[in-house]
Structure 1
Amino acid sequence: MPAETHLFACLNDNYGVLLHDPDSGATASIDAPEASAVEAALAATGWRLTDILVTHHHADHTGGVAELKRRHGCRVTAPRGEKQPIPAVDRTVGEGDTVTVGGLAGRILDTPGHTLGHITYVFDADHIAFAGDTLFSIGCGRVIEGTAAMMWDSLLKLRALPDATRIFCGHEYTDANIRFALTVEPDNEALRARAGEVERLRAAGRPTIPSTIGAEKRANPFLRADVPSLAAAVGLAGRPAADVFREIRERKNRF
């Protein structure tokens, strides 16, 4: 049977996700922003926590790990390349490694930039990627520990996934991201259509994720730094895509 997911809000603007294998009953929490929110999601679904899959070390993604480990004895998998400690880790992974949640098989992409060790979990058979704070809908994570070139390379890895891949990210930032993106590509029809869709979703109190890689390729300026018209729009026609990405990211930082 295909994987099941349960998305839930937590903290101020974070999202948590449960990934469930209906055949085995195994369930992973993708990150653990706060233990109480994960417990509420488990109670709502009736699922049993067996794993936590951590994308990066920031506290708003790891704050509930230790408590959930104590309560459930679950297996905690975390990035190998993070310099900051993540609590209660059983296994560290990096690009080329695989993870399992019951019968669900995922692979690791190293996607540094936001942090040096950030990873993305890709479950190809179910067309799902858990991108943490690397890729948001119509946005990307702030470059904190890495470089713009590093983040651009990470985004290219995600952009190369099949268009149908559903992207789960760590925050509800889409509305703000769209407001910025329209300053860069005001005539992008896909972006304008996404703006209308997001307005309707938020008005109904619904989340704007998951998105898909195909939708993001058409509307997300941070995945379009190698599009000549976008480079020209920010005054960098003919410049390397990493330079264009850096300019867009810096503009977003000031927005």
Structure 2
Amino acid sequence: MTVDLLIVPCLSDNYAYIVHEAATDTTTVIDVPEAAPILQALNERGLKANLILLTHHHSDHIDGAAALAAATGAKLIGGARDAHRLPQLDQAVSPGETLPIGMEHVAVLDAPGHTVGHIAFYFPEAGLLFSGDSLMSWGCGRLFEGSPAQMHETLQQFCDLPDETLICSGHECTEANGRFALSLEPDNPELLARMEEVREARARMRPTVPIELAREKRTNPFLRGDDPALRAALDLPEGASALEVFTEARMRKDRF
């Protein structure tokens, strides 16, 4: 990575992220569930937030944004489609735009499904994807507003990123997501190995994010729509499409 990444636990299971680029002394915060723990993390390291990026409008991702911006003078950036339900933005952005942040050229990616206005931020030089509640560690966000087709397209877009990309998602839910994955494939050795690592990390109160995209592609049921083993585990016919596999998996997760 060309930057330093700091993970800040917030609320009960949320994460905010701080990205600091030492070469330009640029500090960016992604999502602000609450301001106090982020301010504490910044102050402990002698950092001042320059920018705040918001992935979507849910309160557990934005409730501290206005207070953090007021305390630091940081510029608040969020999706134009969601501007009416976000804190007052200094800059509204749309998918396809590129944000110059320090020496980075951050891509604003369309990420509907969890909400219709959800966006993600990809730092290509650092190899970081801030996916909010779209692609989650070992799972994906619940479809509160969008359709299965929208979320599936979002996740497929992410799969086209380099395998070494680190996925920085918005919640600590890896163990719960892993239990669902193992309910479908209880004898899958890679899933079992991952769960052992996750449980050890959580026993030590360590975050299970970020996670490498390559591993997500091998273990996340919502990224494996073309895998015959998963299709069979979901009792779907051989000709079922990747979208049909995703839809069935998401329906089962909702009932899990």
- TM-score normalised by the shorter chain: which range applies? over 0.9
Asked if 2 retains the 8 angstrom alpha-carbon contact of 1:83 and 1:117, the reply is no
1:202 lines up with 2:202 in the alignment: yes
Judged with a 3 Å threshold, the aligned counterparts in structure 2 of structure 1 residues 254 and 84 are, in CA distance, closer, same or farther, namely: farther
1:167 lines up with 2:167 in the alignment: yes
Counterparts of 1:83 and 1:26 in 2: how far apart (Å)?
24
Match of 1:254 in 2: 255
Counterparts of 1:74 and 1:137 in 2: how far apart (Å)?
28
Match of 2:25 in 1: 25
Counterparts of 1:249 and 1:59 in 2: how far apart (Å)?
23
Judged with a 3 Å threshold, the aligned counterparts in structure 2 of structure 1 residues 185 and 94 are, in CA distance, closer, same or farther, namely: farther
Judged with a 3 Å threshold, the aligned counterparts in structure 2 of structure 1 residues 24 and 193 are, in CA distance, closer, same or farther, namely: same
Counterparts of 1:212 and 1:195 in 2: how far apart (Å)?
15
SS in 1 for 2:82: coil
Asked if 1 retains the 8 angstrom alpha-carbon contact of 2:104 and 2:124, the reply is no
Match of 1:95 in 2: 95
Match of 1:226 in 2: 226
Residues paired across the two proteins, number: 255
Q: What's the TM-score once normalised by structure 2's chain length?
A: 0.96
Match of 1:131 in 2: 131
Asked if 2 retains the 8 angstrom alpha-carbon contact of 1:112 and 1:146, the reply is yes
Match of 1:43 in 2: 43
> Which amino acid in structure 2 is aligned with residue 100 of structure 1?
P
User: Structure 1 residue runs of 4+, over 6 Å off?
Assistant: none
> Which amino acid in structure 2 is aligned with residue 220 of structure 1?
N
SS in 1 for 2:71: helix
The alpha-carbon deviation at position 247 of structure 1 amounts to 1.0
Judged with a 3 Å threshold, the aligned counterparts in structure 2 of structure 1 residues 175 and 243 are, in CA distance, closer, same or farther, namely: same
Structure 1: gaps of 5 or more residues: none
SS in 1 for 2:247: helix
> Which amino acid in structure 2 is aligned with residue 102 of structure 1?
G
SS in 2 for 1:95: coil
RMSD: 1.3
**Post-superposition CA distance 1:149-173 (Å, at most 9, x none):** 1100000011111110001000000
Asked if 2 retains the 8 angstrom alpha-carbon contact of 1:57 and 1:84, the reply is no
Asked if 1 retains the 8 angstrom alpha-carbon contact of 2:130 and 2:169, the reply is yes
The alpha-carbon deviation at position 28 of structure 1 amounts to 0.9
Counterparts of 1:124 and 1:197 in 2: how far apart (Å)?
27
Counterparts of 1:136 and 1:95 in 2: how far apart (Å)?
20
SS in 1 for 2:85: coil
Asked if 2 retains the 8 angstrom alpha-carbon contact of 1:3 and 1:22, the reply is yes
Match of 1:85 in 2: 85
The alpha-carbon deviation at position 83 of structure 1 amounts to 6.8
